[in-house]
Structure 1
Amino acid sequence: MKTSDWWKQSVVYQIYPKSFNDSNGDGIGDIQGIIEKLDYLKKLGIDVIWLSPIYDSPQDDNGYDIRDYRKIFTQYGDMESFDRLLQEVHARNMKLVMDLVVNHTSDEHEWFEASRASKDSPYRDYYFWRDEENTNNWGSIFGGPAWQLDEETGEYYLHLFSKKQPDLNWENANLRQDVYDMMTFWLDKGIDGFRMDVINFISKNTDFPDGPVKNGDLYGDPENNFCNGPRVHEFLREMNREVLGKYDIMTVGEMPGASIEDAQIYTDPKNREVDMIFTFEHMNLDSDGENKWDLKTLYLPDLKKNMAAWQNGLQETGWNSLYWNNHDQPRIVSRFGNDGAYRVRSAKMLATCLHMMKGTPYIYQGEEIGMTNVHFNDLADYQDIETLNMYRDRIEQGFSHDAIMKSIYTKGRDNARTPFQWDSSENAGFTTGTPWLKVNPRYVEINSEAALQDDDSIFYYYQTLIRLRKEIPAVVYGSFKLLLPKHEAIFAYERQLDGEKLVTICNFSAEAQRIEDEQLLTDIARGQVLITNLEDTDSNVLEAYQAIVYKI
């Protein structure tokens, strides 16, 4: 049972195993490689490691297509190496959270193989099957149609992602019990919680209505018919009764399409669903419309308005997760910062802005050294299924190659998946072999070895932010108030707890900004600098990408 809300005071570090550290020279990161770098993570100061999927998988979607939930992907290691990893993490007083992927499986999972074998199989209803007349016009999130013909029985199965990722039918009570048994298997090993992949997709509108076709798209938009469905709260509360509530763990639900009002229900402790969710609204603000590949420049007041709404919406009930990056999102310093002349300074500014908010911060591997997006000239150098499918669909829709590549350079998921840059040796010290995905050429300049040797590096700045969160209760529990909501370059807010006030001021632009707000100037004059990414400057002026936090 839960004994405390330890996850509120924690900082989480996400590891994408395939790209983290390769210990055996096969070009793919592995569990032993993670073990070798645990002291690096301990030095950073993080509390929790979130491990992206390491389960047995054909790797159609880099492990999010699971073939066997109780077996480790061979190229990552085996169960013995996982048990050793868990032991080594706990020996360093850190915790380990696993990825829970139960909206779908691989089409090579034994449940699906039994399901597709016959219409009379007891596993048939573990998935969604329809004859052609009863399918709809939905498109897959990864491109193409969401229904795939299986010639063995002549019916179509639903896949919201790859056609090798058939969606599970949570309406089936036997399926749910099998999932709960699997979750118990891992929790009994001693893991410390789950990050729950697209968990709000598990309840769907099983009438499967057609969706509107927008902007010349090839397929209909499912809209809200596959997320936050009619039974999702029932399923999550049952999951808590059957499994989660019996352990002292943390849970974070990835929930695309969840509103603040949805999150208040999902994360309200009395509802016993999840501890926090990942929202996506702030990650869509540099998209022109609903399609992430249609680009526009971020308008800072939109970002401030959105993040403040989430801070205020979950201020009294529930809890926020705080993130800029993950395995699905491009590198934040290339996205909302400046990955050229101001790479170091803007990376520190973005870290400051996020880590001083209320919620549990998540650091994605490489964020702490300022890794950047990558520009591969050849489409063949990209591996991500979403990217490759989008390219095919957009060529079919008449987009130019150059326009599509610009979208990939800005938003493609492989930006986050290039191998971790450990040092300036060949392949960035990630592998002695040929890496599964090309290394970002900037590794010579941007790597952790160089960061650890530089007292003023992004790494040590993150280390200080993590320490401040542990030392100052107001960082964890203080109220939130947005300042200067309409300013187009400055993101400022205050946190208050028990008479103590913290003021965070961040310049999101490459131009100096004069502070003119009288109350803010009064606070600055009275305040003590807790942390800043640029020393010895005029206190009334923010230099390019400067960040500063005052304790009042």
Structure 2
Amino acid sequence: MKRIWWKEAVGYQIYPKSFKDTNGDGIGDLKGILEKLPYLKELGIDFIWICPFYPSPMKDNGYDVADYYGIDPCFGTMEDMDLLLKKAGELGIRVIIDMVLNHTSDQHAWFQEALKDPNSEYRDYYMFVQSKERPSNTRSCFGGSVWEKAGEDCWYYHTFDKSQPDLNWESQKLREELYNVLNYWMEKGVSGFRFDAITYIKKVNSLMSHEPDNTDGLISVETTGQNQEGIREFLQEMNHKCLRDPEIMTVAEAPGVPYENLSEFIGEDGYFSMVFDFSYADIDLLPGSNWYNQAPWTFGDLKKLLFRSQCSVQTQGWGAIYLENHDQSRSFNKYFREKAATRDDLHLRFLQGSALATLLMGLRGTVFVYQGEELGSENGKFNSIEEYDDLNTKDQYRRALCAGYDEAQSLKFVNDRSRDNSRMPFPWTAEANGGFTSGMPWLKCNDDYAAICAKKQEQDKDSLLHYYRNLIRIRKDEANRESLIYGEVREIQNALESVIAFERIAENGEKIQIWINMSDETQQADIAEGEILCNNYSETSQKSLNPYQAVMVRCR
């Protein structure tokens, strides 16, 4: 297998608005990332993925881009970005950035010109349709129709919020504009891109009406608008014109791609280095996009999804491994549900957090740690819908009310799933607002910040933060690299339902076993003899696992 830096790397996703504020305005900034580079270096991070920092009205927290070539003043200046790239490079940390190419903000100059003049060259940059009625019954990801009025008998298309008009990839001129954007940032010194919502760029089925999937008479764009026929030509062209250098790392948010087609996306001549797979991350939801349709699931179900993903990806290319990101709730609450550690039970929080960390670092693919995950961050407690910032959360709350749930039930649904859970400010210290800001934070801080803050965990050699640091060292160790990075994943079939057990097998036959008890009860195991690489308990038995025990062993 071809060796390259991004396969061996551990990445760290930064949501800049919530990472570190240096000027007291309550919003994290680029200087805050720069200030905390030593922390990331000590953690063992090889690259950071920074969520959007471009000029934006912030209707969707930066995923509504108003200028691809600038820096929003709330985050700093282009000089700050240049310095961040320089200092990160000096520490051996590469930078990849979010690229939102499915849509822009309605405040982007292109869209403003298109609205102003129907004969403008920019009119063809977006999806405008002349029609007396809505052109189709497609529902946007954030609720309501994908079609918004733009004058008499004229509509424009938006996969997400109405303030995020979709770009028209059928326009060659538009595509060339976007390729110029990619080349600009590569010349700046970024090492790659995370492509947001990239499988929505081809519109075929979503431009036509279909059988509704709900009482609103609409059908979800997630059903009709993902990975449509003809998208491959667009992605191949972008790859050939901008992304042929194998040193450039690309990771795609690519919902809707079936496993049997993965090789087109991540194979030897694929469009991207890797893609995110959402199958196991969305285990808690029934098919569809309503958060109130919560799915019952078991650890057996989780294992099936996890190993199906791993085995499918490893035969076709390379994967991106994650448990958390800016669009998900915290993994503690998702995977341990009502048994997730309480704020005051720090020992249980360590055990559960280290179990998840061992799983993350043991799987095959490029590892992504989301900010605060290494501290054991959990979901926050929001007392009313007014405390939320996220557009999607507010829409899901309305959907639950319309479905007949009362306010308390609807709030519980969004508390469980809201993206704001992972967007709460990072807890650096036990000081006010977790040391994130000297001002008023843009979003409330989690009330557990003093208990789990980075400063406290840095001083405690038995903390979850130190466990993460050690796991990253183990993963990168020359003695383990061929197994833990490049080795095949093979599930250990006789493990009990609540035990996730698998082997990483190198080409030369060397094996590392990973055993993780996801339950609060002691479970039987059959751990191989060998060198214990990590263990979140002080003792190990080959025949049993304590509650939430995680063991990694290099087999003899």
Shorter-chain TM band? over 0.9
> Residues 28-43 of structure 1 correspond to what in structure 2 (within 5 A)?
28-43=27-42
User: Counterparts of 1:323 and 1:234 in 2: how far apart (Å)?
Assistant: 29
SS of corresponding position for 1:29: coil
The 8 Å contact of residues 311 and 480 in structure 1, kept in 2 or not, is answered as yes
Q: Tell me the equivalent position of 1:279.
A: 277
1:507: which partner in 2?
517
Report SS of the residue matched to 1:86.
helix
**For residues 220 and 234 of structure 1, what CA distance do their matches in structure 2 show?**
26
Counterpart check, 1:11 vs 2:10: yes
- Cα drift, residue 551 of structure 1: 0.8
1:266 paired to 2:265? yes
Which residue does the alignment assign to 1:296? Answer: 295
**Which of 382, 389, 394 is the aligned partner of 1:376?**
382
- The answer on 1:431 being equivalent to 2:437 is yes
Q: Does 331-340 or 61-70 show the bigger shift?
A: 331-340
The Cα shift of 1:444 comes to 1.6
CA root-mean-square deviation: 1.6
Letter in 1 for 2:518: F
2:254 matched to 1:234?
no
Partner of 1:159: 158
Q: Which amino acid aligns with 2:74?
A: Q
Deviations 1:467-521 (A, max 9, x none): 1121112100111111237732101011111121111111111111122xxxx35
Q: How does 1:58-73 map to 2 (within 5 A)?
A: 58-73=57-72
Structure 2: stretches of 5+ with no match in the other structure = none
Say how many residue pairs are matched: 541
- The Cα shift of 1:213 comes to 2.4
Q: Which amino acid aligns with 2:531?
A: Q
CA distance in 2, matches of 1:393, 1:47: 41
1:7 is aligned with what amino acid?
W
- Structure 2 match to 1:490: 499
User: Could you tell me how far 1:423 is from its partner in structure 2?
Assistant: 0.9
The structure-2 alpha-carbon separation of the partners of 1:217 and 1:480, relative to structure 1 and needing over 3 Å to count, comes to farther
Deviation of 1:4 after TM superposition, in Å, equals 5.7
Native 8 Å contact 1:484 1:490 kept in 2? no
8 Å CA contact 1:384–1:414 kept in 2: the answer is: yes
Match of 2:250, SS? strand
For 1:367, the aligned partner's letter is E
Q: 3-state SS of the aligned residue for 1:97?
A: strand
Name 1:474's counterpart in structure 2: 483
CA distance in 1, matches of 2:83, 2:316: 38
Q: CA deviation at 1:218?
A: 5.5
Task: Tell me what 2:107 maps to.
Answer: 108
2:146 is matched with: 146
Residue number in structure 2 paired with 1:543:
546
After superposing the two structures, state which structure 1 stretch, 336-345 or 373-382, moved more: 336-345
Alignment of 1:277-426 (within 5 A): 277-291=275-289, 293=291, 294-337=293-336, 338-340=340-342, 341=345, 342-426=348-432
Distance 2:226 2:325 in 1: 21
> 1:475 & 1:246 partners in 2: Cα distance?
26
Superposed CA offset, 1:50-77 (max 9, x none): 0000000000000000000001000100
Q: Distance in 2 between matches of 1:336 and 1:203?
A: 34
2:333 alignment partner, SS class: helix
Aligned residue for 1:532? 535
Change (3 A) 1:51 1:147: same
Change (3 A) 1:469 1:343: same
Unaligned 5+ residue runs, structure 1? none
Instruction: State the alpha-carbon separation in 1 of the partners of residues 20 and 61 from structure 2.
Output: 16
Other structure's SS at 1:428 match: helix
Partner of 2:136: 136
What SS does the corresponding residue of 1:57 show, helix, strand or coil? Answer: coil
Deviation, 1:295, is 1.8
| AA aligned opposite 1:469 | R
Deviation at 1:360, TM superposition (A): 0.5
Instruction: Please report how far the alpha carbon of residue 247 of structure 1 lies from its aligned counterpart in structure 2 after TM superposition.
Output: 6.7
**Alignment partners' CA distance in 1, 2:58 and 2:194:** 19
Calculate the TM-score normalised by the size of structure 1: 0.95
Task: Specify the code of the residue in structure 2 equivalent to 1:382.
Answer: Y
C-alpha deviation, 1:379, in angstroms: 1.6
Q: Give 3-state SS (helix, strand or coil) of 1:538's partner.
A: coil
Paired residue type of 1:483: I
Confirm or deny: 8 A CA contact 1:148 1:157 kept in the other structure: yes
- The CA distance in 2 between the partners of 1:133 and 1:164, in whole Å, is 20
Change (3 A) 1:329 1:347: same
Q: Give the match's secondary structure for 2:79.
A: helix
For residue 135 of structure 1, report the CA deviation from its aligned partner: 1.2
Take 2:50 and 2:15, find their aligned partners in 1: how far apart are those partners? 7
Letter in 2 for 1:482: E
Q: How far 1:206 sits from its partner (Å)? A: 6.0
421-430 or 485-494: bigger deviation:
485-494
Q: Distance in 2 between matches of 1:248 and 1:138?
A: 39
Structure 1 contact 12–363 (Cα < 8 Å) conserved? yes
The 1-side partners of 2:494 and 2:299 are apart by 9
Question: Structure 1 residues 274, 431: closer, same or farther in 2, change over 3 A?
Answer: same
The whole-number CA distance in structure 2 between the counterparts of 1:334 and 1:135 is 41
Say if 1:286 and 1:296, in contact at 8 Å, map to a contact too: yes
Task: Say whether the 8 Å CA contact 1:264–1:313 is kept in structure 2.
Answer: no
What percent of counterpart residues are identical?
39
